[in-house]
């Protein structure tokens, strides 16, 4: 995992020869916890005058992806313990493994002046820390290569692995960041230069920074037992799916919590209680639908809609449901009307009618609000798996799609504005995702394609043309890439 001592000596010599004339010099470089990270040590009397440091990693020859480009404020480096009297450490991440990386630094001073520095950083080859040889993240089968001149709103993306920490790749298929430390990154989100990862077995929040630093905090709740599925951006914090106990009964996948990265609870929604209260108020038998101790709801994603201060929750077994952020009141339900839930008059009264020709969400994952205000999701197409005996599981399609909907709450109607179904050639019945990047490009993750044996990562331009298509073996469940989303390593600011 670390470069040899001979490489460190050579690297230090390169650094010393690359010293600039602006009063700050490169002293040395030490490898970080993986080949994708290097720690550059700088010295100089005017380090205290710095406002920040920018580093840029030149792409390999023939690469289409942009350069890694990151700005650290001096405050961010101080908070991480990298600034001392006359000395500064800059964590450079996003390096190519097994390669001599050309790195440019720009030291920005508070008076507006700047000093450039340059260094070549050789790195060791990457060895997957899990020894999970069946998932060669570094060697995808490239079914369609991104070509020069292709227009795509992202150049890097993160795959949420079920067997190790998150994996960041570029759109040429190169791994650009991975570190050991977390055994399962299914429940994870990226913010403020760190991955926030919910533990799959305990109520613990892991914070994995891009320099490889890992810390843990316990969730500040006595009822939550573990994280599952997604972590999404919320109104004030992060929206998480958690299991909870209530009177010795485990509420399986029915609770959404909004938390901080340190584990504080900002808000929470018990979907079982919300639905039961509403159904009972309308004269329905809520106990026939909400069944504690049973995976009847299966929440797998939540998104915040700032347009009306609400959250939209995905219930894989039933529907997509929108509720008011503050009160928890149900606003609407969108789902397959041939499923069991539609037999309850109270739920039917909240149902949106989908315009003819559209695909209802079935087994959906990865909810988000697009830049033009549409509800977008990965429409898996797999019917329900855990309805009561004799109850309808609804439709099951033979392919998966990405669906984007406009919602008219006054008329209680929905329209599928567009979908992408890849010619109905791929079916990923579980997990998976679709997320937008700037410029309305989209990253699609078919987590369990080809009868669950393969994972496909597909990049779409703003016209939904396929720009790249990478294939990875999938070992079990959704472990290779539960879902994936674009990440801005080409224009990242860490304050």
Tell me the pLDDT tens digit for each residue of 150-177: 999 999 999 999 989 999 999 999 999 9
Checking if the pLDDT of 136 tops 80, the result is no
* Helical (H) or strand (E) element with 11: helix 5-17
Alpha carbon of residue 152 to chain centroid: 18
CATH 2.60.40.10 positions along the chain are 5-122
pLDDT tens-digit profile of 218-277? Answer: 999 889 999 999 999 999 999 999 999 987 778 899 999 999 999 999 999 999 999 999
Domain 5-122 has CATH 2.30.30.40: no
pLDDT of residue 249: 77
Which one is predicted more confidently, 23 or 384?
384
- What was the pLDDT predicted at 133? 53
What is the distance between the alpha carbons of residues 403 and 152, in angstroms, rounded to a whole number?
20
Domain ranges in the chain with CATH number 2.120.10.30? 141-489
What would be the CATH architecture of the domain defined by 141-489?
A: 6 Propeller (2.120)
Whole-number Å distance between alpha carbons of 185 and 352: 34
Q: Is the pLDDT of residue 1 over 60?
A: no
Give 127's pLDDT tier (boundaries 50, 70, 90): confident
Are 373 and 307 contacting, i.e. CB atoms less than 8 angstroms apart? yes
Q: What is the pLDDT of residues 262-312, one digit of tens each?
A: 999 999 999 999 999 999 999 999 999 999 999 999 999 999 999 999 999
Question: What's the Cα-to-Cα distance from 466 to each of 158, 173, 423, 439, 486, rounded to whole Å?
Answer: 18, 15, 12, 15, 15
Q: pLDDT per residue over 407-455, tens digit each?
A: 999 999 999 999 999 999 999 999 999 999 999 999 999 999 999 999 9
Q: Which of 227, 256, 280, 392 has the alpha carbon at shortest distance from 216?
A: 227
- In angstroms, rounded to a whole number, what is the distance separating the alpha carbons of residues 167 and 428? 21
Residue 16 has a pLDDT of 37
Provide the pLDDT for residue 478: 94
94: pLDDT strictly greater than 60:
yes
Question: Model-level pTM?
Answer: 0.94
What is the spatial distance between Cα 213 and Cα 194, in angstroms, rounded to a whole number? 9
Binned at pLDDT 50, 70 and 90, residue 482 comes out as very high
Task: Please give the average per-residue pLDDT across 464-472, as a whole number.
Answer: 97
- Of the pLDDT bands very low, low, confident and very high (cuts 50, 70, 90), residue 21 is very low
Pick the residue with more confidence: 109 or 4? 109
How far CA 226 is from CA of 197, 205, 256, 303, 402, in Å, comes to 11, 10, 12, 20, 29
- pLDDT number for residue 22: 58
Confidence grade of residue 129 (pLDDT, cut at 50, 70, 90) = low
Encode burial over 311-348: b for 16+ CB neighbours within 10 A, e otherwise: bbbbbbbbbbbbbebeebebbbbbbbbebbbbebebbe
Pick from 1-5, 60-64, 97-101, 247-251: least confident: 1-5
Q: What percent of the chain has pLDDT over 90?
A: 89
Terminal-to-terminal C-alpha distance of the chain: 29
- Pairing relationship of beta strands 413-420 and 353-354 according to DSSP bridges: parallel
| Number of Cα atoms under 13 Å in the Cβ half of residue 13 | 7
pLDDT value at residue 12: 40
Burial-class residue 271 by CB neighbours within 10 Å (0-12, 13-18, 19+). buried
Report, as an integer, the average pLDDT of 110-124: 97
Per the model's pLDDT, the better-predicted residue between 365 and 6 turns out to be 365
Q: Please report which confidence band the pLDDT of residue 7 belongs to, taking 50, 70 and 90 as the band edges.
A: very low
Mean pLDDT of the chain: 93
């Amino acid at each position: 995992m670390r470069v040899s001592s001979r490489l460190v000596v050579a690297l230090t010599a390169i650094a010393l020869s690359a010293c600039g004339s602006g009063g700050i010099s490169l002293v040395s470089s030490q490898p970080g916890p993986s080949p994708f990270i290097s720690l550059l040590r700088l010295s100089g009397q005017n380090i205290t005058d710095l406002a920040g440091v920018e580093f840029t990693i030149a792409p390999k020859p023939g690469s289409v992806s942009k350069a890694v480009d990151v700005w650290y404020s001096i405050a961010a480096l101080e908070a991480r313990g990298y600034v001392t009297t006359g000395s500064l450490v800059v964590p450079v991440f996003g390096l190519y493994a097994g390669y001599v990386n050309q790195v440019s630094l720009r030291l920005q001073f508070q008076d507006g002046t700047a000093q450039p520095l340059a260094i070549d950083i050789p790195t060791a080859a990457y060895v997957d820390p899990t020894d999970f040889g069946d998932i060669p993240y570094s060697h995808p089968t490239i079914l369609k290569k991104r070509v020069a001149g292709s227009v795509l709103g992202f150049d890097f993306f993160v795959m949420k692995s079920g067997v190790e920490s998150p994996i960041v790749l570029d759109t040429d298929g190169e791994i650009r960041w991975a570190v050991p430390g977390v055994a399962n990154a299914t429940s994870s989100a990226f913010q403020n230069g760190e991955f926030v990862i919910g533990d799959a077995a305990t109520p613990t929040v892991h914070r994995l920074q891009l320099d490889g630093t890992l810390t843990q905090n316990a969730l500040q709740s006595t009822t939550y037992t573990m994280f599952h599925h997604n972590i999404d951006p919320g109104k004030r914090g992060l929206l998480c799916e958690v299991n909870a106990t209530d009177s010795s009964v485990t509420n399986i996948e029915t609770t959404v919590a909004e938390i901080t990265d340190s584990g504080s609870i900002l808000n929470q929604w018990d979907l079982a209680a919300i639905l039961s209260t509403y159904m009972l108020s309308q004269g329905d038998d809520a106990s026939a639908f909400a069944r504690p101790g049973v995976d009847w709801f299966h929440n797998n994603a939540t998104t915040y809609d700032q347009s009306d201060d609400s959250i939209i929750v995905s219930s894989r077994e039933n529907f997509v449901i929108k509720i008011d952020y503050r009160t928890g009141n149900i606003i609407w339900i969108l789902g397959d009307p041939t499923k069991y839930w539609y037999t309850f008059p109270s739920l039917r009264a909240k149902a949106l009618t989908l315009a003819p020709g559209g695909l209802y969400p079935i087994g959906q994952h990865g909810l988000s609000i697009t830049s033009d205000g549409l509800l977008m999701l990965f429409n898996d197409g797999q019917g329900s798996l855990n309805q009561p005996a004799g109850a309808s599981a609804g439709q099951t399609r033979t392919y998966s799609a990405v669906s984007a909907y406009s919602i008219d709450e006054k008329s209680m109607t929905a329209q599928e504005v567009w979908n992408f179904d890849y010619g109905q050639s791929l079916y990923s019945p579980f997990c998976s995702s679709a997320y937008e990047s700037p410029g309305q490009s989209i990253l699609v993750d078919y987590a369990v394609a080809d009868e669950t044996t393969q994972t496909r990562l597909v990049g779409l331009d703003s016209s939904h043309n396929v720009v790249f298509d990478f294939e990875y073996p999938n070992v079990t469940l959704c472990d290779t890439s539960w879902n994936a989303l674009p990440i801005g390593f080409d224009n990242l600011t860490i304050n």
